[in-house]
Structure 1
């Protein structure tokens, strides 16, 4: 027989995308946007069980002759009935989980704009240590869930996106070859970008973090540092829903060193002789100006922007979610940026009452140029070091594209010239896709038997170019 009805909230509001199942059977259905559902029920008295994230599980008795019923659900303030993912095909209620599973929802991720997922997760996972390699755009963060587990191996957790283990490789661009920050092109001091930064936070439904021994029991030795399970957004039954977000902003310095200003030639000469240790007159005569190197170098970039568009919806049997994002972050340092374009298409198809098919597809393109920053010493290339050693009466900006040689550092390096001449673009094209099939073979009041098949691929193409022309002042000092 066929039973129809509605699932409503505490105030009688309809609840869409709730799962309604006949207890002890494999029969079930999903509610539409207005909370309505229709499910096949065996003869005799039965029990319907309704589940929805954010609500407590509701059970209702259905009489043998009933054909219509209303199920009322109560809010789950403590979220004890929330289902958490503990493996590719394993879910369990939070109150029954053997280990604590930290969950970060889509709303928590996108409350404040951030360049990458790692930045979005800061302060939202209890016990996690998240540090960034530098302030350069494009990511470059490290996450430790279980502390340091090895002397020389990585402490990065395993990342799983829609059931597919994805790469979080960090590939050095070779920048340290010209800055002498370390030996070899792949040296860790190169401050590379983590590949998990490619993912778009706007397309993520939830992130679940497994830190306990259960992670190793499911994923083996790959999970020795913990597992971060990422679930992307899927469509919900109901009318098409359109989401649009437009953001504009400007990056600015939060703190400055505030270098010394010199008010007279006598003061400048005294500094040159007694502090710098120079002989005779300064190589650049004192001028009655005080250049704010930090403000000149770390500012003036165009505004950053992000445009995000998504469409989702479907029927009780077929759901879809399609989203796209275009963003560009113009960092505070001159000529540094991070831009991303991504497209996602997720489709779900329910066949009968037992088979559920899903297809998830993400296409991502990122382009970034992080400039020279951080631990760079060839012998002095880092902007902060150069500005600290250069008196503020010196004009490093130059005129008409001609940048002066800096006689106050041994390499003669000028950060304004470096920002124009040295280019290190990193161009990445990436595809993450998966197809999953779930077969509900058996269900009873206490047990269920499901078979899940997942096939996926994570492929990316990484192109990096490093251009440091010979007319850069610091070039003779890099030994190349």
Structure 2
């Protein structure tokens, strides 16, 4: 029989008391205590929004709200320490006793510190380091600096705010491409684009042409269009850390010589849900029109252009029957006689710019919600952006969705996940580099035609022979592209024991671009006689570009106080990266009536293409920092990489670095009142390191490439023109850097100065071969290049009271670039603008090396007897092929017979210096800011200027028609390339803004901010075009500073409202 054992009544009583006691103890052990407080500026007592409040030794923490207040739940079983930090302020740690179950509200003042030596900055995917420990310069841009830009584009928001960075907008199209170069050009075969990392995910910023595939027929090496950072919503970003030096980037190995841009997105904050909604309206307009002649006369007869059709040789003139009233004069150019008309006829002039430009309107809307408990925090945002371009029929639309959730699994474990989705769509017109783009069609068409004229069916009429009616570029050409993109990350952060951290990241960046191109058949082709490169019978194309990037990082860090004075911080990590690109394209010409797809192509020119390049990079690194008394630090690191791009003999590469920093102002002798009051902090730093570059190589660069052909009805392959080279290896940069950071007069003045020397070796160059070698070219590591420069940042805070604050930042950058070895004296770079772009040993990269104006001994232009400018003539020196000996006759005129036009360096697209002035002024709730951007000592090859003058619509041609200069002057200077180089220096009012914050009278709305801003309102320059800030080469490093039909950067006005709930 089963027996049920029971406790006696007294035993049950004791057991119950014991259970209650144990339960109470357990509850006390896990009891949560809520801490509240306010973080303020110690001088103005104003709250600091976004300050970090962390519980030391745990992953628990929060950030302050818009007023500087915070709420934090902590374990109440024992006293805790709170670490409080904010960008631009000295961090502090305070003790908080929570054992009694409650605390009074805390007041935590922070001391301003422009040098922010205790600020912790991001140095890798999950790696952070105190600024005082760094031996290299890292620039940080926070969200408030981005918000003041008035731009919905991330790169535009960064312009003028990062020392050492030259950020150029290549095109004024909505969503147009931009280029970032950190410390100059670093490659001769690919763009010097930094590596971009968002929340540990390595992402793509490629510029891939899927919407304007017809343009590849004429564009040479240029690649215009949007780059993929356009998909990122700046409103989602918390901070951006820019690492320019090799010593800082060594942990990224083979992909880091161009620098690293580390982006941290916004995260959730502990507390009740906080909602922010921002809406804005934008208006874009053409900043200035290019001067076009309105003179009601022209040479010859009304349907004849001025140049070059108006020039007849002696033979042509002998067989020509003049029109009534036609007269000619003989003009000699480079020893050749041509005959130009001198009679003038009446014409009606039009300004075609009014037909292609418009005022574009847009809107930018962002909604974000964040909040959470002490265990779980969340942030989510939704945005919609629509922007019309200043070219008719162009616009850009983008939708963004972002979600980030952080879950604290324990005090020592945190799991976070980030999900981001972007969808964009753009309507485009042909960009630069072709003569059927809107701007080029205006430049190359004589403005004596009414381009609005149509036939009875409403179809446009022809203008002059071989020219596209400018309105056809708007009405009959459609280029579109759509992008779907996701960027996702999963992170696990562990601190299982004191001093030990384990961080694991998985990141995926995936997107697909789909593009369509359509050029309708021209109804006036029979009259115009358009050449084949204008696609007279129509053109249609579909293209797609699918990109997948995957990376995973595992980093283990250990921090230990070895002795009272010595502290060790060691990190070991491994990384794997994989990239795959799938490209498909089909196109056709000769479109059937009313058919606008490739399937409607009736000619035999239907083509298709497919590519699937893919590669992987894996590596590991170790890094150790040894600190002495928290003011002297030495860091050493090494990374080993393997990439599938290279053969086994070159697959493994090693990249070392070493750096040191010395905070002199923390030494004991410095801490006297006189010294400390004047010089608050002084830090010296230096570093050396190496990193690699894969940008100039694709996965097939080292192979012998074959091409498919048909033979006797069967498919076969034949060797291509490029020979194999299994010994090609990554480009390598070695950099020395040293600098100082100093803060003066109670941190009212801070100065950071950095000087660097970069030596880039193993530059990848496609070297030409003799036909006897079995191919036309081979990819080789034959080049070397160097960059030397300085970066200076000066911040002054002249006024800071409780109600009034003003700070001004001055940034100055200077970089000197030189190609020191090339494998051949020169390499000419193909481009559709006809710009004489060359790589030359001993000169900066991509200089303009062209024909020059003949000058006398005093450097004044030497005119011909007819009063024209002329080319310098000479004999090329055999010993030094890049130099010439000028040859003159007895009268001092250049000799034509037996000579050639002298070529020399006529311009440099690398600026002498760049800089900016950033001013922020606030009085109570009113704020005013502006940013001046400087680019000085830079040349632009203005191909459009020659086009306008040769057509007869430019200001020089107008003077010639009015008789103010000699007839034939414009014709004579046409071939001289030096004349086409303009001064591209400028000072731009890049940003200006005014905003006012007020407490909302509406219940539930905490704050309302009203703002007005403008971008690119004024440009002080002497450029003979729309805008000196332009580049027909897109993101190419080999073609820069070329203006050929580029869409100018618009002037923008914006009105914005922000509601905080």
Shorter-chain TM-score tier: 0.7 to 0.9
Task: Answer whether contact 1:7 1:31 (CA < 8 A) is retained.
Answer: no
Alignment check: 8 A CA contact 1:17 1:236 kept: no
Aligned-partner Cα distance in 1 for 2:305–2:100: 98
User: Shift of residue 344 of structure 1?
Assistant: 0.9
Flag the 1:76–1:391 CA change in 2: closer, same or farther, 3 A. same
**Of 380, 384, 405, the match for 2:462:** 405
Equivalent position SS for 1:130: strand
**Residue in structure 1 matched with residue 270 of structure 2 by the alignment:** 237
70-79 vs 331-340, which moves further: 70-79
Counterpart of 1:309? 367
* Residue range with higher mean Cα deviation, 62-71 or 391-400: 62-71
Whole-angstrom distance in 2 between the partners of 1:30 and 1:220? 34
Alignment partner of 1:57 out of 84, 91, 110: 91
8 Å CA contact 2:207, 2:223 repeated in 1 = no
Matched with 1:432 is: 487
What is the CA deviation profile of residues 166-217 of structure 1, one whole-angstrom value per residue up to 9, with x for unaligned ones?
A: 111221237363574235xxxx424132112111111111111111234432
Q: Specify the alignment match of 1:92 in structure 2.
A: 129
Gaps of 5+ in 1: none
* 1:224 paired to 2:257: yes
Match of 1:423 among 441, 463, 478: 478
User: Are the structure 2 counterparts of residues 35 and 414 from structure 1 closer, same or farther at C-alpha, using a change threshold of 3 Å?
Assistant: same
Matches within 5 A, 1:97-112: 97-112=134-149
Q: 1:280 to 1:439 in 2, by over 3 A?
A: farther
1:82 maps to which residue?
Answer: 119
TM-score where L is the length of structure 2: 0.40
Q: Please state if 1:373 is matched with 2:440.
A: no
The answer to whether the 8 Å contact 2:268/2:379 transfers is yes
Does the residue aligned with 1:73 lie in a helix, a strand or coil?
A: strand
Other-structure match for 1:209: 242
Tell me which residue corresponds to 2:352. 293
Asked whether the 8 Å contact 1:106–1:206 carries over to 2, the reply is yes
Q: Cα gap change, 1:420/1:343 in structure 2, threshold over 3 Å: closer, same or farther?
A: same
Does the 8 Å CA contact 1:216/1:224 hold for their aligned counterparts?
yes
Distance 1:384 1:63 in 2: 70
Structure 1 residues 337 and 63, CA gap change in structure 2 (3 angstroms): closer
Within 5 A, what are the aligned runs for 1:37-436?
37-40=72-75, 48-54=81-87, 55-61=89-95, 68=103, 70=106, 72-78=108-114, 79-173=116-210, 175=212, 177-178=214-215, 180-182=217-219, 188-263=221-296, 269=301, 272=304, 277-278=309-310, 280=323, 290-300=349-359, 302-376=360-434, 380-399=435-454, 401-407=458-464, 410-436=465-491
- Name the CA shift for 1:262/1:441 in 2 (closer, same or farther; >3 Å): same
Find the aligned partners of 1:453 and 1:171 in 2 and give their Cα distance: 31
1: CA distance, partners of 2:35 / 2:444: 76
2: distance between equivalents of 1:442 and 1:149? 43
Q: Which structure has the bigger radius of gyration?
A: 2
* Structure 1 pair 425–14 and aligned structure 2 pair: CA distance change class (3 A): closer
**Which shifted more, 26-35 or 71-80?**
26-35
Matched, 1:451 2:502: yes
Cα distance in 2, alignment partners of residues 462 and 176 from structure 1: 13
Across the aligned residues of Structure 1 and Structure 2, the Cα RMSD in angstroms comes to 3.2
The structure with the greater share of residues assigned to strand is 2
Q: Which stretch shows the higher mean deviation, 106-115 or 337-346?
A: 106-115
Question: Are the structure 2 counterparts of residues 197 and 12 from structure 1 closer, same or farther at C-alpha, using a change threshold of 3 Å?
Answer: closer
Could you report, residue by residue, the CA deviation over 1:104-134 in whole angstroms, capped at 9, with x for unpaired residues? 1111112133242122211111111222332
Q: 2:514 & 2:388 partners in 1: Cα distance?
A: 21
In structure 2, distance between residues paired with 1:292 and 1:27 = 65
- Matched-pair contact (CA < 8 Å) for 1:81–1:94: yes
Tell me, in whole angstroms, the C-alpha distance in 2 between the residues paired with 1:327 and 1:7. 37
Aligned equivalents of 2:398 and 2:426: distance in 1? 9
Q: Is the 8 A contact 2:125 2:200 kept in 1?
A: yes
Cα distance in 1, alignment partners of residues 241 and 137 from structure 2:
10
